[in-house]
Amino acid sequence: MWESIQSMCLHVVFILFTILIYQVFFNEREERRKKIKSKFFLFMLIILTFTMSQPVHHFEIYKYDFKAVVIILSFLYGGKRAGFASFLALLITGYFTDQKIFVLLGNYLIFCLLLLPVSKWFHKYRLKGKVIVVSLFYLTIPVTRAVFLQLRGDDRETFFELSSSLIILATLIAIIYLIENMNEQIEMRQELIKAEKLNVVSQLAASVAHEIRNPMTSVRGFMQLMQKENLTKEQQLYISISIEELDRAQEIINQYLALAKPQTDQYETIDLTSVIKQSIDVMHSYAILNSIHISQDVEPSLKIEGLKLEIQQVLINIIKNAIEAIKSEGEIWISAAKNAKGFISIQIKDNGVGLTQDQIKKLGSPYYSTKEKGTGLGLTVCHQIIKQMGGHITIKSELQKGTCFTINLPSK
């Protein structure tokens, strides 16, 4: 008995330690995660060989090991390729450790096929949901087997089956906690770095923008005065171009200032439906200029809490981006509706150039722009404004097909 507990502890500690090493040394950088899938598989292989070559002896007669843990983890965290690779490794190790190869093949093939759909929606859940999903999935097999054994009147074996399954399940849950916790920390650190960057930008912005705005206003005023003089056509043209450029600069400065000043205290209830319609009207001529048709489907009387100018700025920014992504001839669909959870979701969809997964990740960090005259501030401001209103923006996109921005806001 004592020996079996000792050997079990050794297994659990070995598995946890291996996972820990993987998490600490190899799971740090997100951009390297893809390559890391193969490393994850290598670590799984180490665990698999160890656990199958040194199974735990339970009451001298029975033996069990943790190969189920390896298969489940490979599918859930390594993807289906790592999953099936582990399955293959399991068969090979099984062959060399004199296990019944056809029983292994049959049992674990079913196991793998069942894991395929589970691994797809597993990541949508939060930690608790994940633990429940894995527990339910893992327990169905030993419980049905135990019921079957009990019906045959095999008490000892039933007890053994259930007790070893519980130990394996507990180990599995501990590992999931470990991995999820560490992943959460990595994500938090990345968020923090992003927020810190934003903080520096907005502090700088506030001071610089403020200083520049005043002289610019006076320059613009004098230019306008000069326009009234008797000037040649060419001179008139130069002055109006200068004023346009000044306005552009002013717009950029305003975006910086919007970054710097969160104004939650002046929030009021606003009629979102009319704000959306107004924003579409504002962008209408710009769209027509590029032969783009905007179609809309906005529910009447949607209400939110916020600042009208800010939400308008968000909508205009995103619609402008959509138009610029199409370049010429295309369609933009704008819809807004309240959903069952009390959130209003505004969708702005275009059939423009689209974005890669990598680009989507970079969107919203200051200065990321693919345009010659772009500032990369538009979306940064959008994200910040919507976050302040208690909402969030999600982006779905496919290269060459189009992009869909969804703004979710709590309804009033």
CB of residue 350 vs ligand ADP: minimum separation in angstroms?
5
Tokens of 364: 């919203």
Contact of 387 with 403, CB cutoff 8 Å: no
327/284 Cα distance (integer angstroms): 15
What one-character DSSP code corresponds to residue 179?
H
The whole-angstrom distance between residue 328's C-alpha and the CA centroid of its chain comes to 31
CB of residue 338 vs Mg ion: minimum separation in angstroms?
27
Contact of 125 with 137, CB cutoff 8 Å: no
Half-sphere exposure of 103 (CA within 13 A, CB side): 4
Q: How large is the C-alpha radius of gyration of the chain?
A: 30
Contact of 309 with 346, CB cutoff 8 Å: no
Which of the residues 316 through 375 are near ligand ADP (CB under 6 A)? 317, 321-322, 325, 350, 352-353, 355, 363, 368-371, 374-375
Half-sphere exposure of 138 (CA within 13 A, CB side): 27
Which of the residues 292 through 331 are near Mg ion (CB under 5 A)? 321
Nearer to Mg ion, 233 or 373 (CB): 373
DSSP SS3 for 194: helix
CB of residue 376 vs ligand ADP: minimum separation in angstroms?
4
CB of residue 32 vs Mg ion: minimum separation in angstroms?
30
Out of Mg ion, ligand ADP, none, what residue 375 binds, judged by CB under 5 to 8 A for its kind, is ligand ADP
Q: Does 364 bind Mg ion (CB under 5 A)?
A: no
CB of residue 330 vs ligand ADP: minimum separation in angstroms?
11
Contact of 342 with 410, CB cutoff 8 Å: yes
Out of Mg ion, ligand ADP, none, what residue 171 binds, judged by CB under 5 to 8 A for its kind, is none
Task: Please select the residue that binds ligand ADP; options are 67, 205, 403, 407, rule is CB under 6 A.
Answer: 403
Q: Which of 119, 124, 161 is nearest to 139 (CA)?
A: 161
Nearer to ligand ADP, 196 or 251 (CB): 251
Which of the residues 376 through 405 are near Mg ion (CB under 5 A)? 378
User: In the stretch 299-318, what mask flags binding to ligand ADP with x, by CB under 6 A?
Assistant: ------------------x-
Task: Please select the residue that binds ligand ADP; options are 83, 94, 142, 378, rule is CB under 6 A.
Answer: 378
Total residues interacting with Mg ion, rule: CB under 5 A: 2
CB of residue 294 vs ligand ADP: minimum separation in angstroms?
13
Calculate the alpha carbon distances from 54 to 51, 69, 76, 83, 191 in Å.
5, 15, 25, 22, 43
CB of residue 224 vs ligand ADP: minimum separation in angstroms?
27
Out of ligand ADP, Mg ion, none, what residue 392 binds, judged by CB under 5 to 8 A for its kind, is none
Tokens of 122: 């597993």
Total residues interacting with ligand ADP, rule: CB under 6 A: 21
332/325 Cα distance (integer angstroms): 10
Q: Does 290 bind ligand ADP (CB under 6 A)?
A: no
CB of residue 377 vs Mg ion: minimum separation in angstroms?
8
Contact of 99 with 128, CB cutoff 8 Å: no
Nearer to Mg ion, 78 or 330 (CB): 330
What one-character DSSP code corresponds to residue 411?
B
CB neighbour list of residue 16: distance below 8 Å, 6 or more residues apart: 171, 174, 175, 178
Out of Mg ion, ligand ADP, none, what residue 118 binds, judged by CB under 5 to 8 A for its kind, is none
CB of residue 322 vs ligand ADP: minimum separation in angstroms?
4
Q: Does 379 bind ligand ADP (CB under 6 A)?
A: yes
- Ordered DSSP codes for 66-134: SHHHHHHHIIIIIHHHHHHHHHHHHHHHHHHTT--HHHHHHHHHHHHHHHHHHHHHHTTS-HHHHHHHH
Nearer to ligand ADP, 224 or 295 (CB): 295
Nearer to ligand ADP, 64 or 405 (CB): 405
- Per CB under 5 A, residues contacting Mg ion are 321, 378
- Per CB under 6 A, residues contacting ligand ADP are 317, 321-322, 325, 350, 352-353, 355, 363, 368-371, 374-380, 403
